[in-house]
Structure 1
């Protein structure tokens, strides 16, 4: 049962979980690589915010939980995917 729960959690579409990489690869042909990263990053941000709806009440009840995904890698993916700065090319 624990392995099944961990497998389902690992397939959530968020970074750095495997589900984030799978979703990115499935979305990239249709939306492009940058947009796919932003979509998965947004899903991860939503999931990481929703995890507090589970963790806080459980902690108040005295139950300690770890529930992925983490906020930081998903926020970076959501914010930085479309904001890449071009590197100036030096003439040879």
Structure 2
């Protein structure tokens, strides 16, 4: 929105870029799931991070995540989370 309001980029350019990103998203998610990540929606990611934080700090009020409640799907979910074994 800022690019449009400040006339930093032409509307046509932004539309083309958005369409291109939408077309490549499934391939990005397939690659990430191939690396060991799990598809997740934003709310799922927030709950998982909160649960990890609670576990790390010793807080016993951590909540578990249920993929079925959010109806997450690999295509168009917007995020892939997981442990790929990398550190740092």
Calculate the TM-score normalised by the size of structure 2.
0.31
Answer 1 or 2: higher relative contact order, Cα 8 Å, separation at least 6: 2
Name the structure with the higher strand share: 2
Name the structure with the higher helix share: 1
Calculate the TM-score normalised by the size of structure 1.
0.30
